[in-house]
Each structure stands twice: as C-alpha cells, then as structure tokens.
A and B are shown apart, each in its own frame.
Chain A
Amino acid sequence: MSEASLEGFRADLRAWLEENCPPQMRDGLMTEEGICWGGKDWVFTSAAQRDWLERCAAKGYTVPTWPVEYGGAGLSRDQEKIFHQEMARINARSPLQSFGIWMLGPALLHFGTHEQKLHYLPPIARGEVRWCQGYSEPGAGSDLANVQTKGEDRGDYWLVNGQKIWTSYADKADWIFALVRTDREAPKHKGISFLLIDMAQDGVETRPIKMISGISPFCETFFTDATVPKDQIVGEVNRGWDVAKYLLTHEREMISGGAAGLTGTGRALGAVLSETMEELDATLRADAMRCEIDTLAIGLTLERYKDQAEAGQGAGDASAMLKYMGTELNKRRHELLMTAGGSDALEWDGPLGNRAGDWLRTKANSIEGGTSEVMLSIVSRRVLGLPG
C-alpha cells in the first residue's frame, strides 16, 4: 500500500476514533479492572465499556488483522502499526482481550476448516464467547506432551475424562480448548487431539485456586464423562500436538509483548518511577536506565520479527526468545516499580492501588505458557542445534 493511502487510512481512523472512543475509555487502563474479557456472562463495568466494544466489533477492530469474513478488519501489517499508534495516541483501552483472540483464533485461522472459522471466530471477535486453555495437568507442566486426560471414541462423539490444572479463568469461560489423549498406544506426541469443549455441561466442573497475589484467576478443571461432538476437533485426530505448538508460539508472543509493557502506552519507565519517588537514587536510576534500554530494544525486536514474518522470512522459534526476554524484563520492571513505591507499595489496595498484586502476578510470566528454562532449551535445540 502506498504511503499516501496509508496516510489516508490514518486520517480516517483518527476521525473514527475521535468520534467513537468514549472519553472514559481513554485512560489506557490495562489492569484487571480495565480489561473487557467478554463472554456470555460478561458484566460490563460501564456503558462506555459496552459501547466501545460494540463499536469496535462492528468495524472489526477487536481483531484488526483477521479477515473481514471472520469478524476482523483485514488490516495489513502497515495498517496494523498505524492502528496501534493511533490507539496509543489517544491512550485508548483495548476494547476486548481474550484467549480466543490471542490463542485459539490464530490456531483456527491456520488449522481450522472454513466452517469452523465461520462458526467460532466471529463470536470471539464480538466478545460473545469466552475461551480458556486446557493444556496443563498435574503431571504435565513443562512436559506438556505427557497429558493424560483421555478422550474415548464413541462413534459420533468423544467421551472425555480427566483433570486440567492452572486453567486461567476456567470459572468465567464458556468454552475450553483442550489437549486430550485419544491414542494411548502411540508415542506421547502422536496420540493427542485438540478438542473444542462446551463448558456448559454437567461433565465439566471448575474449582478456583488462589494465587500469591490474592486473586483466583486460575482453576482446576475436571472432566467427568464430558461429551464432545466429532466436528469439534481442530486439525486431525492424534495430530493435536501440531496445533498445540502453533498456538503456543502465538501465546508466547502475546505474553512477551504484554509483559514487556510494550502494548501499553509506551511511557518511559523513569517517568513512571518518578511518580512515586521524585528523586530516583543512583542505584535505582541506573537499573531503570538499563531496563528502559532493554525494553526499547525488545520492543524493536517484536517489530522486527513481525516485519520479517510479513516479508516471508520466518523466524519460527523466535517466540521462545521473545517470551523469555520479555517476561524476564517484566519481572525486573516490576521490581523497580516496587522499589520506587517504597513502603506505600507494601499495602494491599494502599496508596498505590494494586501495585504489590501486579508485582506478584508478574512472577508467573516466566512460568505460564512455558517456563524460561523451557524457552532456553527450545532455543538451544532448535536455533543453536546443540545436542539434546
């Protein structure tokens, strides 16, 4: 697309945002209170939040790069960059976030049939159906391919039994995409299927688990004779590991981007720290400079990889690198925020709101979606070719 038409796109978008983004949605709030997750039972925190979601969804702006027929706006990479710039310019909240957008969507776009895409994607884009991720089990964490939840072939449906754990927002979700062992004889990577399971049935139960940050965002999820119609499988039977891995690359990129504070308003760390500590001491300032440098460089790396992907220069294992670097950086960042907050940061819901909770939550960044150690092992094997 020419520079001129890109600038035309920017002008139109800017005008549209000016008219349609409610003032209350221009605070860039990315904390739990600010996020709209959508779903059947979603309770909007304000009329503005609802309006903002509906207006964006009507334009395809909740999933700007998805094809129009599946609920997106079909934006090119250049347009997408402009979209994020313009959203950041007015400090707009993201209208909708969800595991459907970050994880299942990309997997369906790649592996799903046309019918599946038409059926599942638009409700994700409109925020009508909320998904959760049923990968981990008590015995299958880093060794994810060891999943034991089993799916028996009952002719026109699968009968699913087993337990998942650490399932984020399972208690709030409508559907779950799950890794289920459908062949117990095959080698462990070759007997897994990727199933889409409706959680509104008696055979699916969830039990929240409380985290160190005080909230209960994840659950144990139990399947007891849950039934899954045969067309609710993504990819081929027993080939779910391919889908699972592909999805993980998207999840990891999302975690690294979000974690690095790069999808937020892009404010300089020094300015944020100075809000609570007018004069940064020398040690904190030095740490903050280093953190800022790394943040900018990792942000550029995210851009570079997107540009490379668009140019067809695939960097397949890049997501492991980004996930590792982005999440470790985010942990550093929140340590600095705590330091700059001093004793004010030590109170639950104190003068600095949920700063301590946010800090504690970041410790999961380098665990969820594959631990830092697992990321380094992936780089070591696939990129460096070191013997396994």
Chain B
Amino acid sequence: MAKLVMTEEETMLADMARGFLDGAAPVSAFRALRDAGQTHDADLWKEMAGMGWAGVLVPEEAGGSDMGQAAANIIAQEMGKTLAVSPFLSSAVIAATALRQVGDARAMQALGRIASGEATYALAVDEGIKFDPEATEMEAVADGNGFRLTGQKRFVVDGALADRLLVLARTANGLTLFDIPADRGGIARQATQMIDARDAARISFADVQATGEDVLGTVDSAMDVLKPALAAGQAALAAELSGLSAGAFGMTVGYLKERKQFGIEIGRFQALQHRAAHLWCEIEVTASAILNAGRMLDSDPEHAELAVSLAKARATDTAKLAVIEGVQMHGGIGMTDAYDMGFYMKRARVGAEWLGDYAYHAERVAALRGF
C-alpha cells in the first residue's frame, strides 16, 4: 500500500532541492530578476536541467531522470518556498506528461530536448477569463493534409519565451492538441505584465499552418493526452502553492518572534498566536492532500482525479490564507515593495487562477463525490 509518508529518497531529494534553491534561487534572486524586468533565468534553468529536474518526468531512454510525480511535487514545493522562477511546471511537468502519453519516436525526441533543457514549452488553453478547456472555441480548420489555426489564447503561462506551444483547438469532431514551434508564421505573442512578475502571454493565431505531424496524440481526442498532463500540472502547482504557504508562514512566524510592541514580542499576543496556529493546521492538512495526489498519480493515475482536485482546491485556499495573514501580521512593512511578503501574495493569486481556481476544483470534487 502506498504510504502517506515521505520515503528516505524523497526526504533526500527535498533536502537537496532546498539546499540548491537557497543558494541559487533565494527570494532575493527573484527580486533581482524582477527589478531587471526579466521573467526567466536561462542559467538557472540549465542548472536545474543538469540536476535532472527538467527530466523529472521524462523516461530514462529519452534522457530523463524519470523520478515520478511525487518527486516532481517535491521539487515544485521547494521552488514555491523561495519563489524560484523557472519553466518547470510548463515544460518538465505539463508538456513532458503530455508527450509521454504519446510516446512515439518524435515524442521521445521532444522529451529528450525537454530533459536537457534545450526546449521549453507553454500550454495554450485558456480563452476566457477562467480555466475551462472544454469550452475551447479556437478553431483548427482542416486544410489539405493539415490544419489552419485561428483564434486567441490568453494567460499562456511561460508563453512569451517558450520555444514551443501546446495549443488546444476545436476540430471537426472534438478537440485536438497541437505541438508547434512558437515562432511559426501567423503566431503573434504579446507578453503580459503579470502581478507575479513571471512570464505569461496573450497569443493570437492567424491562419497558422499545422500538419498532421504537429498533432499530439489523435485528432479530435485531445483529452487523452491533455487530461493526464493537466492533472500532473495541477498537482505540481498545488505542491508549489503549499511550498509558497510554508515560505510565507516561515517569514511570519519569524517576525512574530522578533518584532516587539508594548515592550514584548508580538508573538506573545494570544490573538496572533492562535491565528498563526490555525494557519499551521491548515498548511498541515493541505500537505496531506498534496502527498496523496502524488501517490495517486504514481500508483493509479486513472483514478487520481479526485486526489488532484482536492489538492489544488486545498492548496489554493491555504495559500490565500497564508499570504493574507502574512501581510496582516507584519503590519505596515508587509505592504511595502521592499519586503518579500508581497511577492508571495501575488504569486499565490496567479497560482490560484492557473489550471482551475477553487470553484473549478470544488465542482470536480463534488461531481466525483456524487453531488
């Protein structure tokens, strides 16, 4: 039976990741990136690829480290703690999982390029203001042996800089997923200025040519490939948010022990103690849902939907609480740009929306639980 407890290897991976990120990608590095107006650190991603992180879900025969979803979650979680910026979720988790479902020679080559860090991906699904893949309207019209894609995508996370795009479009009898280079003719990318200072884009497609080769999986059956990829991404994003919560919480508890008012540490005030303790309880409960999602995706992916939505819903809510309480318990300094708490708050908000917000996942839990 899969246990809800970290294995020795997982603990080692977490320690290793934390050690690396504390050195190479502390919050101060994110701040420097943002101040420089950058949304990507190519050297950092190369280093991560060197450690096997870019290939965490890539099979060994394609050059990956194939450590599984639970390991991917651990890496994402540690990245969340220090707000490390990378295309990890888009490329190493979502795109790799999608390509893996296909597994033909072409997909294996693409997986190899992800693992080595050569190619980055972004997932272009959203068209409205909320995540709703089934409602996709963008069309891929059959044209000879191929297709012509026309339409608009937005909130394409990592989309301004990605080398390739996974694009969801409507075909004659369903939805189809395309894997195309981001610089193909007819694609116009507009980077959006996001509150979390990370890469995202609005992308328009005007008669973009795609061949049958560009179809990932089968025409009209995008969900065979996309569903597992989304599940992997949602679980890892939930893990990132739980790491983010822990990071914000650590800062807050540290501050409670250090800041003095009325001649004593503010952490002596029971009003604050109980709020901090409540927040810790929420973080602990969410951690169980994250661990469970990783275990389910690794052992029984067909039945992991409930576990994944549970994790994303809980993580979204907990992160919200962690940053709201974080700012409040810091007082005025929490509101300043010079202080890091705001970074956590803004990333938590983006993470809440991406790949389905609380309501989206709550509805899925409810449906799976029969109401």
Q: Which 6 A-B pairs have the closest CB atoms?
A: A270-B371, A304-B4, A268-B369, A379-B277, A380-B273, A301-B288
Chain B 268-293 per-residue mask, 1 if CB under 8 angstroms from chain A, else 0: 10100110111011001111110110
> Which residues of chain B are near A379, meaning CB under 8 Å?
277, 280-281
Instruction: Give Cα A377–Cα B270 distance, bound, in whole angstroms.
Output: 8
A270-B369, A379-B280, A386-B268 known; 13 other A-B pairs, CB under 8 Å?
A3-B1, A270-B366, A288-B366, A289-B366, A293-B310, A297-B285, A301-B284, A304-B288, A373-B274, A379-B277, A387-B257, A387-B265, A388-B268
CA distance A325 to B285 in the complex (A): 9
Does B276 contact A321, Cβ atoms closer than 8 Å? no
Most B C-beta atoms less than 10 A away, residue of A280, A300, A324: A300
Q: Quick one: given A386-B267, A387-B268, are A377 and B274 in contact (CB under 8 Å)? A: yes
A-B contact pairs, 14 of them (CB 8 A): A268-B371, A269-B369, A274-B371, A288-B371, A289-B366, A290-B362, A293-B365, A294-B285, A300-B289, A304-B287, A376-B277, A380-B274, A384-B280, A387-B265
**Interface residue B331 (Cβ < 8 Å from any Cβ of A):** no
Interface size class of B (residues with CB under 8 A): 35 or more
Complex Cα gap A318–B5 (Å)? 14
Residue A285, interface by CB 8 Å: yes
A306-323 interface mask toward B, CB cutoff 8 Å, 1 = contact, 0 = none?
A: 011011010000100100
For the residues of B in contact with A, the DSSP-based class is helix
Q: Mark A371-383, 1 if CB is under 8 A from B, else 0.
A: 0010111011001
A364 to chain B, nearest CB (A): 20
Per-position 1/0 for A271-292, Cβ under 8 A of B = 1011000001000011011101
Query: Complex Cα distance A148/B113, Å?
Result: 73
Cβ–Cβ contact B5 & A304, under 8 A: yes
Binding site secondary structure of chain A: helix
Chain A residues with CB under 8 Å of B277's CB are 375-377, 379-380, 383-384
Quick one: given A300-B288, A304-B291, are A293 and B314 in contact (CB under 8 Å)? yes
> Does A43 lie at the interface of the complex (its beta carbon under 8 Å from any beta carbon of B)?
no
Contacts of B369 in A (CB 8 A): 268-271, 292
**Interface of B toward A, CB cutoff 8 Å:** 1, 3-5, 253, 256-257, 264-265, 267-268, 270, 273-274, 276-278, 280-281, 284-289, 291-292, 306, 310, 313-314, 362-363, 365-366, 369-371
A298 interface hit (Cβ, 8 Å): yes
Q: In the complex, what distance in Å separates the CA atom of A376 from the CA atom of B267?
A: 13
Looking at A274, A376, A385, A388, which has the most chain B CB atoms within 10 Å of its CB? A376
Considering the complex, give the chain A residue whose CB is closest to the CB of B11: A313
A311 with B363, Cβ < 8 A, contacts A280-B371, A324-B281, A377-B277 known? no
Bound form: Cα–Cα A296–B113 in Å: 39
* A268 and B314 contacting across the interface, CB-CB below 8 Å: no
